[in-house]
A and B are shown apart, each in its own frame.
Chain A
Amino acid sequence: MRKLFGYSKEILLVLLAIVFLSPIYIIFVNSFKDRQELYDNALSLPATFSLQYYLEAMEKMNFLSAIANSLYVTILSVVIIVVLSSMTAWMLVRTGGKLSTIIFMTFIATMLIPFQTLMMPLMQFMSSITNNLNIPMYNTREGLIFMNVGFHASLSVFLYHGFIKSIPITLEEAATIDGASKFGVFWRIIFPMLKPITATVMILNVISIWNDFLLPSLTLIDVGLRTIPLSTFYFFGEFSIQWNLAMAGLTLTIIPVIIFYALAQKHIIKGIGEGAVK
């Protein structure tokens, strides 16, 4: 009897999780249905699994170009953030002094500023750099990467700072006496030790940059530069009445997220937990 009760609890929990994720099921099954079938019953399995709407959605969304843009922007932004903020945080911790404190405090304080407070002046400033200095900040993927690095610097420096403080300094001192340069000490000795926090920093930044809509929507104007959230936005504005097509498009946008989650599930849950608690 008790065993039976235990089993039913197990099943209930799984059932709850399935109900919780049912919207994703609904999107998935309806992406295969034609209009009539969709209106007859939105919850049933499709009669055929034809990929017709997927091909159409891929073409209309420019899906391959969007995913290439998203990957390019996300990967480069995250790599630069990891390199620059770990170096900065290490110097700030190991040098100490008034200047380092002021820099660190400035990073922390700016975490309070919401994006909406910066968006208009940022766009003004970026287009004036583009026009006056001829540096293409506005309407380029590289400009977006530059801005991503700036916006994610604070949290990343903060996370690295906390972690580096807990590493004993003796190792570095020994290496310095051996005559290694600061650069060598950092990349050969320190950076490998930062692995756990680097994983956290990478995951938090990947999630936030991959899903970001507002900043890219302000900076990227050309159709060919659109990232996934941007192309979803424009696609949906055009085809929301054609639900089967829209849902094939939505399913496409979720697939990369599911792959990422499947590959790095443990790190993601751990990283989210750590990022939140600090």
Chain B
Amino acid sequence: MASKNKRRWYVLFTAPLLLIFTTVVLIPFLIGIYYAFFEWDGIAANPKVFVGMENFTSLLQDERFLESAWITTLFTVLSVIAINVVGLAFALLVTSKLRTSNVARTMLFMPYLIGGLILGYIWQFVFLDVFALFGEVTGLDKVFFNWLIDPQFAMYGLVFVFTWQMAGYVMIIYIAGLQGIPNEVVEASKIDGASPWQRFSRVTLPLLMPALTISLFLTLSSAFKIYDVNLSLTGGGPANSTEMFAMNIYNEIFGSGNYGLGQAKAIVFFLIVAAITLTQVYITKKREVEM
């Protein structure tokens, strides 16, 4: 009696969420794997033709896809470095016991709250008008011009804007890390005559490793999955030069109507993201044991 009652409560508490979760995540995931082995244009009346591994093998010859994979990797590496350097610098400044540091922290975090789509549009204008103006005024028109019309610089523009969005976010993680460092350790190194740079590189940085690992991988996976900023800032252009992975998948499915091929790309995308994230979990766990 008691156990039957217990089971009833268990179902009552968990079933609603499990039903929604299964409908939205689990079933589509399985259907997605199935679709990846078919050729289909997305029109319900047209037949789905089983092609086996063909979608996956043809990915290796899809130049636009390979190009996109390469750009995404490059973008991810540059963004991860830029975001973490800027974010850590912000965190160091904001925790240096200044009266204005609270105000500054509030302001520096702000861009993260504005959605990626809207950020991209804001920066479109900044590149178009303000960068050009800067170029005119300073005479440095090789550096300051509308980056978005140049294939190479458009990618740097994406890195720039994504850094602007994410730096405040990782700053928060680094602040938590810095506050966890005991003051005595830093003071002791000061008394021992360590220079500010030595204090940072020999004392602060090693103690900051857990925070560093977390924000490295958070930025790694979010840079790799970038879509919104990509869409609104460059739209993948000029001439597909900034078409990242996520956008390439979207365009293959909904743009070109290659549902099977696009889904195969989406599965490959999943495998890469999973590999990145699992490596993160593995490294973080290992660190925790050592600490």
Residues of A that sit less than 8 Å from B by CB? 6, 9-11, 13-14, 16-18, 20-21, 23-24, 26-27, 30, 41-43, 84-85, 87-88, 90-92, 95, 103, 106-107, 110-122, 124-125, 129, 146-147, 149-151, 153-154, 157, 182-183, 186, 207, 210-214, 229, 232-233, 236, 240, 243, 246-247, 250, 253-254, 257, 260-261, 265, 268-269, 272-273, 276-277
Contact = CB atoms under 8 A, between A and B. Distances in A.
27 contacts: A10-B98, A16-B93, A24-B110, A27-B125, A41-B133, A42-B133, A91-B9, A103-B18, A107-B21, A114-B269, A117-B29, A119-B250, A121-B31, A121-B35, A124-B28, A125-B27, A147-B24, A149-B20, A150-B21, A150-B24, A183-B12, A213-B117, A257-B114, A260-B113, A269-B106, A276-B218, A277-B176
A253 to B, nearest CB: 5
Contacts of B269: 114, 116-117
B104 to A, nearest CB: 4
B113 A120 contact: no
Given A91-B9, A253-B118, 13 more contacts: A13-B98, A24-B122, A88-B18, A91-B14, A111-B277, A116-B269, A118-B32, A122-B24, A124-B31, A149-B20, A149-B24, A157-B17, A276-B172
B28 A16 contact: no
A43 to B, nearest CB: 7
B263 A153 contact: no
B262 interface: yes
Given A17-B108, A125-B31, A153-B20, A43 B130 contact: yes
A112 B107 contact: no
Interface of B: 6, 9-10, 12-14, 16-18, 20-21, 23-29, 31-32, 35, 42, 93-94, 96, 98-101, 103-118, 121-126, 129-130, 133, 164, 169, 172-173, 175-176, 214-215, 218, 225, 227-228, 231-232, 246, 249-250, 253-254, 259, 262-263, 266-267, 269-270, 273-274, 277-278
A264 to B, nearest CB: 10
A9 B103 CA distance: 14
Contacts, number: 232
Contact of A13 (B32, B100, B173, B277): B100
Contacts of B9: 91, 182-183
Contacts of A111: 277
User: When A and B form their complex, which 6 residue pairs have the shortest distance between CB atoms, in order from nearest?
Assistant: A150-B24, A211-B115, A121-B31, A17-B107, A122-B28, A84-B17
Contacts of A257: 113-114
A112 B277 contact: yes
A43 B100 contact: no
Contact of A232 (B26, B121, B173, B225): B121
Contact of B25 (A16, A95, A118): A118
A95 B104 contact: no
Contacts of A272: 109, 112, 169, 172
Contacts of A92: 14
A213 to B, nearest CB: 5
B90 to A, nearest CB: 8
Contacts of B21: 107, 110, 150, 153-154
A20 B106 CA distance: 12
A22 B122 CA distance: 11
Contact of A121 (B28, B110, B130, B225): B28
Contact of B259 (A120, A229, A243, A276): A120
Given A157-B17, A272-B172, A276-B214, A117 B107 contact: no
Nearest to A124: B31
A267 B246 CA distance: 32
B68 to A, nearest CB: 12
A214 B231 CA distance: 10
A229 B115 contact: yes
Nearest to A38: B129
Contacts of A6: 98
B263 A120 contact: yes
A214 B270 contact: no
Nearest to B105: A269
B32 to A, nearest CB: 4
B23 A150 contact: yes
Contacts of A233: 117, 232
Contacts of B114: 211, 254, 257
A87 B17 contact: yes
Given A84-B20, A210-B115, A13 B101 contact: yes
